[in-house]
Amino acid sequence: MIVITGQIFTGPDTLPALYARLKALCEPSRAEDGCIFYHMAMEDAERGVIMAMEGWRDQAALDAHLALPATARATVSANHAMGRMGDPDEIAAGIVYLSTPAASFMTGSELVIDGGMTAK
């Protein structure tokens, strides 16, 4: 059996949305082949801390779980500065801006659209 425990740290302002997304993964994860237990709990709302605990039959079951798109999205969100992934429209807005006359005076600079990841 493989047991994973840990804490997920995020800002108090992003905590409610991230916690809701992670809690939504619990029931589907528990239904996966090889899942023994899967829990998320609010550890410290003021500090933005979520406790995660999961148990898997073996490495193959854990690997299958980690390969699922919903798990990958949640993992990226948990590690993201804003506590979520960007929407395609948010990225597209920057691209559209650069292709308009409004950006005609921009030269030699980067338009970083990463939700604060480089500042983290």
pLDDT at 52 over 80: yes
Whole-number Cα distances in Å, 1 to 34, 39, 59, 79: 9, 16, 8, 26
User: Could you give the CA distance from residue 69 to residue 66 in angstroms, rounded to a whole number?
Assistant: 8
* Residue spans per domain, the chain: 2-79, 87-120
Q: Is 18 helix (H, G, I), strand (E, B) or coil?
A: helix
Q: What is the pLDDT of residues 70-86, one digit of tens each?
A: 777 666 666 667 767 77
- The CATH-assigned architecture of domain 2-79 is 2-Layer Sandwich (3.30)
**48 class by beta-carbon count within 10 Å (0-12 exposed, 13-18 middle, 19+ buried):** buried
pLDDT at 105 over 70: yes
Share of the chain above pLDDT 90, in %: 34
pLDDT for 60 equals 94
